[in-house]
Amino acid sequence: MAKNIKIRFFPFYITIIYTIGLYFFYLKYVPLVKNFQVIFLPVLLLVLFLASLKVEWGTLFFVFTFPIINALPYFFGLFENIPCAPTALVLFLFYFLGILVRNSYTEPKLSIKHPIFQPMILLSCVILISGLVNYLRYSNFYPIFSDSIYELQTNVNGVTTGGALMSTLFHSLNYLTGFVFFTILLNTAKSREYIKKLIVAQMIGLPIILLLGFYQHFRDPSFGNTPFWVQMMQINST
């Protein structure tokens, strides 16, 4: 007989709040281009589904997909001139949502008792505070002192307030999600057998993107690449 699933209400509410935040983040920072979404969205839903069933399955799929996913937008003309969240970051956010879903009905197995987590927690707090201060500074301390966010130029490269706010958000999330993933990995990869599976998953994903790099270098630099990197004579697989 199947075991009765008991909802853990506090993690469940956290999951609901996170899901709502991720929904609006997705609408604002992920290009809603149909052909791109047809490929990208199933990958996101699959990593969410696997992680919600078993963290180890979701982690294996995430490790396999991580080196490949960043090149995906370039095949659909989504270059630097279109502001969007890094696809690897969005992949992790869905992976983490799957873990939150799982923790809503099972006891979490994560531990932060190892001494290495102390400086990580401290640095995470610094990043959160720094990100908040930068956000308030670029937005002219809206909504404390301003009626709205003004699109002022923030540097000599012509980056406006909106671009600076977006960069602040993405960089902060990149740092924080890196720490979170390290925590999950340290708590998940405890056996040699599973570590071998992680290595195999990564070794399957890496050659795919490296083959793309070789094709770009020897045949067609514009294939799966951005005009900027083509002009700089660089391949994006590195």
Question: Token digits for 203?
Answer: 């070794």
pTM of the model: 0.88
In residues, how long is the chain?
A: 238
Query: In angstroms, rounded to a whole number, what is the distance separating the alpha carbons of residues 95 and 11?
Result: 16
Positive or negative: CA dihedral 118, 123, 129, 131: negative
CA 56 to CA 198: how far, in whole Å? Answer: 9
Instruction: Name residues whose C-beta falls within 8 Å of residue 6's C-beta, 6 or more positions apart in sequence.
Output: 105
Question: pLDDT (tens digit, 9 = 90+) per residue, 75-101?
Answer: 888 876 677 889 999 999 999 999 999
pLDDT confidence band for 5 (50 / 70 / 90): low
**pLDDT value, residue 237:** 58
Q: Which residue in the block uniquely carries the two structure tokens 């995906």?
A: 72
Model confidence at 209, pLDDT cuts 50, 70, 90, reads confident
Distance CA 135, CA 126 (A): 14
Characterise 151 by phi-psi region: left (phi > 0), alpha (psi -120 to 50), beta (else). Answer: beta
C-beta atoms surrounding 137 within 10 Å? 14
Percent residues over pLDDT 90 in the chain: 48
Q: Give the tens place of pLDDT for each residue, 118-150.
A: 899 999 999 999 999 998 888 888 777 777 888
| For range 41-66, the mean pLDDT | 95
What whole-number distance in Å separates Cα of residue 184 and Cα of residue 195?
13
Helix or strand run (H / E) with residue 229: helix 227-231
Cβ neighbours of 94 (radius 10 Å): 21
